[in-house]
Amino acid sequence: MLLNTPVVHFGQHAPAFELSDPDGTRYTLNALMGKKGLLVAFICNHCPYVKAIIGRFVQDAKVLQNEGVGVVAIMPNDYIYVPDDSPENMKKFSVQHGLTFPYLVDLTQNIAKAYGAVCTPDFFGYNAQGELQYRGRLDNITMNAEVKGRVPELVNAMRQVATTGQGPESQMPSMGCSIKWRE
């Protein structure tokens, strides 16, 4: 099911979490926060929207990390229902796409719910004080479109957040597949 992310309340504080990667290494929100903010991305392995953007996302994440913004990806899907999203497949996905940031499992789906995530990909950009300043898309490229004329909206927004503490007034919602919630 195709979804757009909803409008959110900017300034909301990032919900705290402690999650593990597929190897069992634990991460907390505070440990992942960069000097200039944090980008929390809800992604998964099987979604065609994530597959379409993952190369550009990894590239953009490296830019942000080099500029002092922390980056983390969280897999919120029920992987019993969608085996392609299992922790073992997350490890393969991470290596295949060269992720330079932790890719964590939200086993209970409580973190996705606390953030208000609705789809994959779903991006949440926080300033250094942990206040939500961006809830938008990666860029202006539509599904399966040519990358020519790309505007890296997420990078531009997070650079503004890193510099001013506030995100842009105009933000386009992310679009993707619905999160596969447990029944």
Query: Mind listing the pLDDT tens digit for each residue in 144-169?
Result: 777 788 999 999 999 999 999 999 99
Q: Does domain 2-178 correspond to CATH entry 3.40.30.10?
A: yes
The pTM assigned to this predicted structure is: 0.95
pLDDT tens for 44-87 read 999 999 999 999 999 999 999 999 999 999 999 999 999 999 99
Taking CA atoms, 109 is separated from 44, 64, 113, 127, 128, in Å, by 13, 26, 6, 24, 25
Q: What is the pLDDT of residue 146?
A: 78
Tell me the β-bridge partners of 27. 19
CB 179 within 8 A of CB 117: yes
Q: How confident is the model at residue 5 (pLDDT cuts 50, 70, 90)?
A: low
Q: Which helix (H) or strand (E) holds 132?
A: strand 132-134
pLDDT for position 3: 53
Per-residue confidence (pLDDT) for residue 8, from 0 to 100: 63
State the pLDDT confidence band at 142, using cuts at 50, 70 and 90.
Answer: confident
Output 170 or 95, whichever has higher pLDDT: 95
User: For position 1, what pLDDT does the model report?
Assistant: 46
In this prediction, residues 136-145 reach a mean pLDDT of 89
Residue 87 CA neighbour count, 13 Å, CB half: 12
Each domain of the chain, given as residue ranges in start order, spans 2-178
Is 50 exceeded by the pLDDT of residue 16? yes
